Amino acid sequence: MRILVPVDGSENSMHAVEFIASRTTLLGSNPEIEVLNVQLPLPARACRLVGQDSLTRYYEDEAAKVFEPVRAELNKVGFQAGEAFLVGEASDSIAAEAEKFGADLIVMGSRGQTALRGLFFGSVSNGVLAKSKCPVLMLRDKAAPQSDALKVGIAVDGSKYGRAAVRYALKHISLFGTGAQFYLINVVSDYAGAVMPDMAGMALPALSEEEVLELQKDEFNEAVEPLRPLFAKAAVATKEICLVGNAGDEIAAFAKKKKLDLVVMGSHGYGRFKAAVMGSTATRIAATGDVPLLIIRQA
């Protein structure tokens, strides 16, 4: 597995490094991990004054300051990662390096807090999501897991995106640790106030409780049934969870109640020019909770 970890010297980026250091099973499988530092270019006038050699040394020195604590954290668990630095716009550079490196995953800390602006993960993180097809794990302001075995929710909705999330999780099972617990989560409609018009356009009485439960059961099975063989083939046990209501709210509440370490989900986002890069459900989870999200961008 190839993992790219962008770092900038901040506490948030160190959360990403600490998360990697906590993955005993993953590190035991000898993954290729690269830590990347992206620096904004100095003003053109300053560049002309100092000359190219001095400029290069400056960037190298700044990168070395960032890499030093990262190196120390990974050395604690006996792991040595590759290091690279680039000069340019952060999200563009991270997306480009992920493609060049052939990353299977980008792990990023997040400092986004501004719900009104939609920056639940920060502008750089949102930019990476928009510009890269690589799966991205967004960590929040939480300490790294104390156990190698994670509690993982996989949110599915019957679409190809949910199926992609399951396939990714099973392919990279070592990321979640030996003995990880998996919850396969689907949120069904509450059918509140549902009525059925008759042939003349008249509204018939609302569905009975039994009819609603049957509809919800069918909806849940339609989303989950195609995924059961994938878990069976991989010999991975999972608990199936049927929630009712708004998907984002219910998943966030479940994650908090069960103290999930992360939630995996596919993205219905539309690319760099759309606000819904993460998809409405992921955006809602980010707005209402602090659980780390692993967003799968390709179906």
- Burial 64-95, CB ≥16 within 10 A → b, else e: eebbeebbebbeeeebebebbbbbebbbebbb
Cβ neighbors of 88 (< 8 A, separation 6 or more) are 38, 40, 41
Q: How many CB atoms lie within 10 A of CB 224?
A: 20
pLDDT in the model for residue 275: 40
pLDDT of residue 196: 56
The separation between the first and the last C-alpha atoms of the chain, rounded to the nearest angstrom, is 19
Q: How far apart are CA 182 and CA 151, in angstroms?
A: 6
Kindly report which listed range (111-120, 141-150, 203-212, 220-229) carries the lowest average pLDDT score: 111-120
- The mean pLDDT of the chain is 86
Domain annotation for the chain: domains and CATH numbers: 1-141 (3.40.50.620), 146-298 (3.40.50.620)
Residue-wise pLDDT for 169-219, tens only, equals 999 999 999 999 999 999 999 876 665 555 555 555 567 778 888 999 999
Give 224-282 pLDDT, tens digit per residue: 999 999 999 999 999 999 999 999 999 999 999 999 999 999 986 554 433 444 567 77
CA–CA gap between residue 242 and residue 17 (Å, rounded) = 34
Per-residue pLDDT, 227: 98
DSSP state, residue 203: B
Q: What is the pTM of this model?
A: 0.88
pLDDT confidence band for 113 (50 / 70 / 90): very low
Sort 198 into a burial class: Cβ within 10 Å, 0-12 / 13-18 / 19+: exposed
